[in-house]
Amino acid sequence: MMQKYILLDRDGVINHESETFIKSPEEWLPINGSLEAIALLNQHGFRVVVITNQSGLARGLFDEKTLSKIHDKMCDAVIEFGGTIEAIYFCPHQAVDLCECRKPKAGLLKQFAADYVVDLKNVVFIGDSLRDIQAGQSVGVTPILVKTGNGLKTLQNNPQFLTSLLIFENLYDTAKHIIGR
């Protein structure tokens, strides 16, 4: 049986966004319904993978040990709702570093595809920003925009998305749509 994957951005999709970055486990706060959404996707056979830019590392705002603790808190919170996160891919660079892994480039998505031997054309990527959508489109995933985090601002700045993308209020509404197909 072919595995089904859902890719999620982290900040603004699973947890609340912060203009000053999520720098500690205490600052990581889930968006209402996001943990339940991941569990719901898992219950319907989807494996969930997180694809996230974490430039706070390059900026010296936190280190990889702290990022690991933030991700441990997130994964533990998902487990409490009966779900699991399969893997987390993160870019530690800033935009000025011109790396291949920072969204809107697709390096992390390509790495995921190589690691899991997945055809990205069969994958959904849920994000809240233009760079999430661009990264997804560049490798043929089905991008979905949520209005949480930067989603509303992204939609206001890119009105063409109203006719070209699936758009949902939040991750939970998106999960309900996906499992309803």
**Distant-in-sequence, close-in-space partners of 40: CB < 8 Å, separation ≥ 6:** 83, 172, 175, 176, 179
Q: Report helix, strand or coil for 171.
A: helix
Show the tokens assigned to 89.
């891919």
Contact between 123 and 141 (Cβ < 8 Å): yes
Our answer to whether residue 115 is catalytic in this structure is: no
Residue in 9, 119, 128, 173 annotated catalytic: 9
- SS3 (DSSP) at 50: strand
The SS3 assignment for 1 reads: coil
What dihedral do alpha carbons 108, 42, 2, 131 form, nearest 10°?
A: -30
Asked if 63 is an active-site residue, the reply is no
Active site residues: 9, 11
